[in-house]
Amino acid sequence: MIIRQLYTNCLSEAAYFIAHNGEAAVIDPLRDIDSYLELAREQHAQIKYIFETHFHADFVSGHVELAQATGATIVYGPGAETGFKFYEAKDGERFSIGGLELEVLHTPGHTLESSCYLLRDETGKPHCIFSGDTLFVGDVGRPDLFSGNLSKEELADKMYDSLQQKIKTLPDDLIVYPAHGPGSACGKALGKETYSTIGAQKAGNYALADMSRADFIKSVTEGLNEPPAYFPINARINKEGYAPMAELMDKGLRPLAVAAFKQAMEAGAWVLDTRNAEVFTQGFVPGSISIGLDGRFAEWAGSLLPFEQPLLLVTEPGKERESLTRLARVGLDKVEGCLAGGIEAWRQAGEKMDMIVDVEADELAMDLPFDQRLEVLDVRKLAEFEAGHVKGATHFPLSEMTDVLQLAAIDAEHNLYVHCAGGYRSVIACSLLKRQGFHNLRNVLGGWAKMKSISNLPLVKPTTA
């Protein structure tokens, strides 16, 4: 028996490959399917099934393309409806993979069709459960995403039954393999591990604690952040299907000379620069949006870039394919090409360059008392801001920076010192501000991690009882 967890840090997503006696199954695959095909070749196994735990909202699944490549059957839980051929499984139905069996446990709550898959070994003994977004390490899937006409309270009510009747009755030593790990927006506060056991979750997961239905509903529905804007788009794509990756690659990897690149920009294409933040600030194509590959790239790209607008890429040499692949994972399919020769080609052609001024945290501390037009712009999440911030700082979460009306409330004449926790998000924010015509910008290097230790910087910290 072979079980492989294929974890993608950028999306905090886990797909799974199972093989036994020449047959294989894949659970919750990403859109780029080569790794699953390679594993099948290594194990001399034929992929027989593609199991989906639910309609994912945070990434585009590889189910359609993997089925086309292998002839495997796509399986969803009860109640699923799609724009492509699939098999609708019944609760309790079992599927054979070599000498193994995978049993469907319908667990509505995160979504209506949400299902877990219980794997039984050659002897029929339960070995592990692939819990999708029903059960995470330390958390459960949020009930306010792709829920049709049901309210989050109604879905939480269904989740209560799913956990009580299907999850808590499983053996304590059963291994839990969830669809997501820490950092995922599909839950409130996922633990740092990417797998666990039922016993450990009964002991430490707040959602599996003994409580009334009403208390459970309140517990899982309160404190939810606004989900990323691209979630409903990805859920729809996963329901309806999508274009093949090869087609996207043929178009998106076209090398565009400077003149052709400029022409596409003038026609309305947005420029995405995927180089690291510290490189981007030193010089970039005017109007570019910075989202570096070294951070939570796909999540921020999906949240901040327009899905219906053509995109152009500026990357580090050799990073074109990776950039395109990671955009496709969240359904950003309208990439029209890459700048041939990268930023150096643009520079050598004598084209205009833009830049963002980087400053150290102690420089902000020195400027703050004397510059009456200085405004600190904190682009972290609300919880981060409330845990400590610069006195008088303006809080403007990065996720809201596509709102032109809110941006209009910022005084363009002020000297804006922009920061996040460590520097990744603040550069994205600066690039968005630049695109909207703000030019008196300073990016605070090291962000809050550095700022909170500066003795002469006035800070607001939460009081403790």
C-beta of residue 146 within 8 angstroms of C-beta of residue 111: yes
Closest CA to 50 of 40, 59, 41: 40
Q: 323: Cβ–Cβ under 8 A, 6 or more apart, which residues?
A: 272, 274, 293, 313, 315, 338
- Kindly state the helix (H) or strand (E) to which residue 4 belongs, with its residue range: strand 2-8
- Separation of alpha carbons 452 and 129, rounded Å: 43
| Average pLDDT of the residues in 334-354 | 97
Helix, strand or coil for residue 167? helix
Closest CA to 58 of 156, 206, 222, 181: 181
Give the model's pLDDT for residue 146. Answer: 66
**CATH says 357-460 is which class?**
alpha beta
Q: Which helix (H) or strand (E) holds 324?
A: helix 320-328
**What is the value of pTM for the model shown?**
0.93
Angle at which helix 320-328 crosses helix 245-252, to 10 degrees, equals 140
Check if 2-233 and 357-460 are the same fold: no
Q: Looking up tokens 């496709």, which residue turns up?
A: 328
Percent of the chain beyond pLDDT 70? 99
Which has more confidence, 348 or 464?
A: 348
Domain ranges of the chain: 2-233, 243-348, 357-460
Closest among 54, 56, 1, 4 to 26, alpha carbons compared? 4
Sorted by sequence, the CB contacts under 8 Å of residue 114 that are 6+ apart come out as 53, 54, 77, 106, 107, 108, 132, 133, 134, 141, 162
Instruction: Assess whether pLDDT exceeds 60 at residue 464.
Output: no
Q: Exposure of 315 by Cβ count < 10 A (0-12 exposed, 13-18 middle, 19+ buried)?
A: buried
pLDDT for 19 beyond 80: yes
Q: What are phi and psi of 188, to 5 degrees?
A: -85, -45
* CATH classification (class only), 243-348: alpha beta
Structural element, H or E, at residue 377: strand 374-378
Between 225 and 78, name the one with better pLDDT.
78
**Cα pseudo-dihedral 451, 454, 456, 460, rounded to 10:** 50
Residue 428 has pLDDT above 70, yes or no: yes
Q: Which two tokens stand for residue 277?
A: 């933040």
Residues 6 or more apart whose CB falls under 8 angstroms from that of 243 comprise 333
Q: Looking at residue 147, what is its pLDDT? A: 64
Confidence of residue 295 (pLDDT cuts 50, 70, 90): very high
Q: Residue 446 in contact with residue 361, Cβ under 8 Å?
A: yes
3-state helix, strand, coil in the chain (%, to 5): 30, 25, 45
Candidate from 204-213, 220-229, 241-250 with smallest mean pLDDT:
220-229
* pLDDT per residue as tens digits for the range 391-413: 999 999 999 998 877 888 898 89
| Dihedral of the alpha carbons of 275, 279, 285, 290, in degrees to the nearest 10 | 50
- Other Cβ atoms less than 10 A from the Cβ of 422: the count is 16
Question: What is the mean predicted confidence (pLDDT) over 319-345?
Answer: 97
Average pLDDT, the chain: 95
Position 149 confidence tier, pLDDT thresholds 50, 70, 90: confident
Tell me, what's the pLDDT at 285? 98
Q: Which of 15, 68, 63, 18 is nearest to 45 (CA)?
A: 18
pLDDT band at 418 (very low <50, low <70, confident <90, very high): very high
CATH of the domain spanning 2-233: 3.60.15.10
Rounded Cα distance, 324 and 320, in Å:
6
Res 227: pLDDT:
86
153 contact partners, CB below 8 Å, separation of at least 6: 143, 217, 221
pLDDT computed for residue 465 by the predictor: 39
Question: Would you say residue 9 has pLDDT above 60?
Answer: yes
The token pair that represents 461 in the structure block: 């910290």
